[in-house]
Amino acid sequence: MDYDGITNYIGGCWQPARAGKTFTSLNPSRQSDVIGRFSYSEREDITLAVAAAADAYPEWRRMPMPRRADVLTRMGHILEERKEELARFMVREMGKVLLEARGDVQEAIDMAFYMAAFGRMPNGRVVPSERPNVFCQAWRVPIGVVGVITPWNFPIAIPSWKIFPALLAGNTIVFKPAEDTPALATVFTEMLEEAGVPPGVINLVTGDGPSAGSALVEAEGVSAISFTGSTEVGRQIAARCGALMKRVSCELGGKNAIVVLDDANLDLALKGVLWSAFGTAGQRCTAASRIIVQESVMAEYRDRLVAHTTALRIGDGLDERNEIGPVVNRKQLDRIHEYVQIGKEEGAEVLAGGTPLINGSLREGCYYAPTIFGNVSPTMRIAQEEIFGPVTALISAENIQDAIEIANGTAFGLSLSIYTSNIYKAFQAMQELESGLVYVNLPTSGAEIQLPFGGIKQTGNGHREAGWMAMDYCTEWKSVYVNYSDSNELVRAQIDTQ
């Protein structure tokens, strides 16, 4: 479809924002390339979308779960058929290189088929009663209208993590994507429509956080909010949902670290750091922005990492020779450079990069040179705060215990990794690293959809996405007791067991 501002999908109809406002999406590799104009949604649009979702909810929740699962299966096949097309479009709108964009779509494919399989799995538990002739069972039930607010860095994968489980459970959706990737969200919604999602079950409203996002959080009739984004915004959403007694799932920031011990396979650890620190131009919640290296191998590892980093190819992700694309926009480019200046002021040494790349063939884009800081202490801001760009910091550690303490020494707890050939040290790290994800001899990025994903501390509020827990945030448990005795005698619980 043409992206001419008619990009809200409410109650099965494509329509403009009620106020007629629009915003544009730009190609971060070439800012002169305008993807299109999109509906700038405000409170009235959100109200209409929530009403459409509420109207569609009774019929959708009554549909047998295996039939809802069939819709997800069809969605998986559509994603498979259009994977390359969607990946190339992702490179254009979001900027990640084509190899990574294909992986983003593949996560959604995997999630569709994985969740569809739950459509014929047990959906509750039967337990024995302490009373004779009483049947006891508990099962999951949907909670109603779910508001889904997603970021731009995984514009197909993350919506699939949130939307597919909620749909399977019988909820209806109001989907507010990031304002940097509205076109991808539009295509994703078109695919759900093609897969057979009935009108009103999925509703798309495009716009920014202060207008559309806040209105969705506040909207009467929304039972739950699922949000992925910054810790600052997540705190605000969680507090507001708490006041409104709404279920809320927050997946927030990270300050992830890779520990490299002196018995590690340094070749493997080098590849792991390059992927974790600079993949997606460092714009991942799981990006490795701290590299904690044992003192005895620091010099060798530092020199090799700097050499490989400066050799990385940077440019438009549609050129498969390029390894790093742009950051998402100029505002983010400026933010990254501000943090680099902070690092210098704190006394850290720039070993590689440290500059925006806005000259020559890259001048129209939002490129930042992959950056490595040396001489970093664990308490510096660049070692404590999420930068969300291609910037990482080398930190020295005396031994494994020192490394673990440094790794744990931030407000975040999403993904931590250790490289070692010693099984005892590996298991020590698995037990003592404070994060929702722990990797041994693997990068901090690379979660699989059949395991729960999420963090601790200020990274999240306890909910997990994907895996067998995927429906926890969007379902309630209902306990049911059935007396099948033909007796007239009242049998009560607990007090009748004495």
pLDDT digits (tens, 9 = 90+) for 179-236: 999 999 999 999 999 999 999 999 999 999 999 999 999 999 999 999 999 999 999 9
| Mean pLDDT, residues 401-418 | 98
Contact 182, 6 (CB under 8 A): no
Angle between helices 400-408 and 423-432 (to 10 degrees): 30
Distance in angstroms (rounded) separating the CA atoms of residues 245 and 260: 44
Contact 6, 45 (CB under 8 A): no
Phi-psi region of 478 (alpha: psi -120 to 50; beta: other; left: phi over 0): beta
- Closest by alpha carbon to 39, among 213, 206, 189, 214? 206
Both structure tokens of 442: 């693997």
Would you say residue 241 lies in a domain?
Answer: yes
Phi-psi region of 454 (alpha: psi -120 to 50; beta: other; left: phi over 0): left
Q: What is the pLDDT of residue 358?
A: 86
What CATH number corresponds to the domain at position 333? 3.40.309.10
- Pair (124, 211) in one structural domain: yes
Q: Between the CA of residue 54 and those of 48, 161, 248, 251, 426, what are the distances in Å?
A: 10, 22, 18, 25, 49
Residue 125 forms beta bridges with which residues? 138
**pTM summary value:** 0.96
Count of structural domains within the chain: 2
Q: Is the pLDDT of residue 296 over 70?
A: yes
- Pair (244, 276) in one structural domain: no
Q: Is the pLDDT of residue 498 over 60?
A: no
- Buried b vs exposed e over 47-63: b needs ≥16 C-beta within 10 Å? bbbbbbbbebbeebbee
Q: If pLDDT is split at 50, 70 and 90, which confidence band does 497 have? A: low
Would you say residue 494 lies in a domain?
Answer: no
- Closest by alpha carbon to 419, among 276, 254, 255, 253? 276
Would you say residue 200 lies in a domain?
Answer: yes
- Pair (308, 338) in one structural domain: yes
- Pair (418, 475) in one structural domain: no
- Closest by alpha carbon to 197, among 15, 74, 374? 74
- Phi first, then psi: give them for residue 99, nearest 5 degrees: -60, -45
pLDDT in tens, 67-99: 999 999 999 999 999 999 999 999 999 999 999
Both structure tokens of 168: 């399977």
Distance in angstroms (rounded) separating the CA atoms of residues 164 and 121: 16
| Mean pLDDT, residues 164-174 | 98
- Three-state secondary-structure class, residue 64: coil
- Please list, in sequence order, all residues whose beta carbon lies within 8 angstroms of the beta carbon of residue 338, skipping any fewer than 6 positions away: none
Would you say residue 454 lies in a domain?
Answer: no
Would you say residue 300 lies in a domain?
Answer: yes
> Please, what is the Cα angle at 215 between 212 and 220, to 5 degrees?
140
Mean pLDDT, the chain, as a whole number? 97
Would you say residue 451 lies in a domain?
Answer: no
Distance in angstroms (rounded) separating the CA atoms of residues 192 and 79: 10
What residues act catalytically?
A: 251, 285
pLDDT in tens, 458-478: 999 999 999 999 999 999 999
Would you say residue 359 lies in a domain?
Answer: yes
Q: Is the pLDDT of residue 348 over 70?
A: yes
Both structure tokens of 307: 């050499």
Residue percentage of the chain with pLDDT more than 90: 96
- Pair (284, 431) in one structural domain: yes
pLDDT, greater one: 424 or 4: 424
Residue percentage of the chain with pLDDT more than 70: 99
pLDDT in tens, 237-268: 999 999 999 999 999 999 999 999 999 999 99
Q: What is the pLDDT of residue 491?
A: 85
| Mean pLDDT, residues 294-304 | 98
- Pair (334, 411) in one structural domain: yes
- Pair (159, 264) in one structural domain: no
Helices assigned H by DSSP within 324-410:
330-345, 400-408
Contact 171, 145 (CB under 8 A): yes
What CATH number corresponds to the domain at position 242? 3.40.605.10
- Pair (248, 329) in one structural domain: no
Q: Containing domain of residue 79, as a range?
A: 8-252+460-479
Would you say residue 488 lies in a domain?
Answer: no
| Mean pLDDT, residues 273-277 | 98
> Please, what is the Cα angle at 247 between 244 and 250, to 5 degrees?
110
Q: DSSP letter for 324, please.
A: B
- Pair (392, 409) in one structural domain: yes
- Pair (132, 233) in one structural domain: yes
- Phi first, then psi: give them for residue 400, nearest 5 degrees: -65, -40
| Mean pLDDT, residues 59-71 | 98
